Amino acid sequence: MENPTRSAIEVWLLDDDDIVRSTTAQWLRLSDYEVREFYSAQELLNQFASAQPCIIISDIRMTPIDGLTVMNDCLSQEHDLPFILITGHGDIDTAVSALRDGAFDFLEKPFDPNRLIQTVEKAIQQRHVQLQHATQSQYLGELHGLEEVIIGQHEQIIRIRQQIHTFASMDTHVIVYGKTGCGKELVAKALHDCSPRSSRPFVAINCAAIPTDLFESELFGHEAGAFTSANKQRIGKLEHASGGTLFLDEIESMPLPMQIKLLRVLQENQLERIGSNHTIQIDLRVVAAAKSDLQTLEHFRQDLFFRLNVSQIHLPELRHRGSDVPLLFEHFCRIAIKERGGEVRQLSPMDHETLTLYGWPGNVRELRNVALRYALDPNTSVAKILAGYQAQDDIDTVTPLPLSVKVQEFERSLIEASIRQQKGNIQLVLEQLQLPRRTLNQKMQKYGLNRTDYLS
């Protein structure tokens, strides 16, 4: 996961012990964190109401207001705030209880500076995901027009929206290039909807899906009796699209004889149905889609290419617009939940990392399918869904998950299996996994595991 700059989120440090506070602050600053120190709980609470989101580290034992009171007050105002407690040995049970009440983690005095930095770094990662989720939710809620159709903030997507606006009004043929799953038909439909032709039909044809012997009838239509099975007159796709937009997906799969006939139609703006001598005038705008450069294909006619090649739009693969992946994922989750019910879940840091590191060979289409499964199953994770793909598909056809993601998913599955087996009895889980209580608490929080979900 891409980390935010450490100074982007200020660390608030509360401790009424001047020596402990100044030493802790020094460790944090040496690691390039921006720190604001508080010796008084009341001072922190006074500033919290109007402050920007932050991470808070607080001692538990303070007077007259203790750290737990501060935590409860802050979390009541902002429940996702990462709150880290500093405890003495006698406060361990209290700190563990605080984890169930929303604390991010706790540090037991005397704590290792490295342990402090690691904990703060994890809190920042979680905070970064939270803030990004809030920003994405606001962005998605404010979308309108073409931005609501072609979603994304990556510079290439912004340029594509600009091209759509420009080409839509030009009423010329367009070639859209992009790998499978990049959204070529979505762009073609947007070109139609933004054009003066929007009130007329948008007709989509997948050239790779039509049997060769049916291609001419599909495009040109036929008269009754034109051939053995022609029981009645049929209007072809070209004629039906007249006045509107014809979308030819995978045009590189079009048979050569049909390329010749399509070229003539585009040159003369007229056609004849099969079995008819009557010429029909048509007005076509063609948006053609291809996965590779048509000019370089030996089996694609150059004269047809030059007829279509008035304007071009190139769609990037999803892996080249990584900053848009979490945004699109939330968008697809919202659609799934709106259609099928449920609630939008905030991604965990692990899921966020998986989304941004995975290569998405199926592009936006694959992302949409993963989001659908994630939205409909509250007990799954992105890593688990993608790991399932790994198990089902040939290893050469998928993008391997990063090692860190695989290790975390394996660790989570072991802990979850133990909690389920022990029916939520944490003491038995500790004995089975041979983990310290604090380590188990940290990992359960990291992976979103709650013992109450497994009580018998």
Q: What is the pLDDT of residue 401?
A: 65
Mean pLDDT of the chain: 88
Which is more confidently placed, 174 or 406?
174
Please compute the mean of the pLDDT values over residues 264-292 and round it to a whole number: 94
pLDDT tens, residue by residue, 235-258? 999 999 999 999 999 999 999 999
Tell me the CA distances in angstroms from 117 to 112, 124, 267, 426, one per residue in order.
9, 10, 69, 27
**What confidence tier does 266 reach under pLDDT thresholds 50, 70, 90?**
very high
pTM: 0.76
Tokens of 189: 């439909």
pLDDT tens, residue by residue, 97-121? 888 889 999 998 888 898 899 899 8
Q: Is the dihedral of CA 171, 175, 177, 182 positive or negative?
A: positive
All structural domains of the chain, each given as residue ranges with its CATH number in brackets, are 6-141 (3.40.50.2300), 155-315 (3.40.50.300), 319-454 (1.10.8.60)
How many residues does the structure list for the chain? 456
256 burial class (0-12, 13-18, 19+ CB within 10 angstroms)?
exposed
Collapsing DSSP states into helix, strand and coil, what is residue 88? Answer: coil
**Residue 259: pLDDT above 90?**
yes
Beta carbons within 8 Å of 229's beta carbon, 6+ residues apart: none
pLDDT tens, residue by residue, 62-86? 999 999 999 999 999 988 899 999 9
Please compute the mean of the pLDDT values over residues 354-370 and round it to a whole number: 91
Q: Is the dihedral of CA 297, 299, 302, 304 positive or negative?
A: negative
**Residue 262: pLDDT above 90?**
yes
Q: What is the pLDDT of residue 390?
A: 52
Beta carbons within 8 Å of 225's beta carbon, 6+ residues apart: 275
Which is more confidently placed, 222 or 438?
222
User: Which phi and psi (to 5°) does residue 12 adopt?
Assistant: -100, 130
pLDDT tens, residue by residue, 163-178? 999 999 999 999 999 9
Range in 10-14, 151-155, 343-347 the model is least confident about:
343-347
CA 220 to chain centre: 41
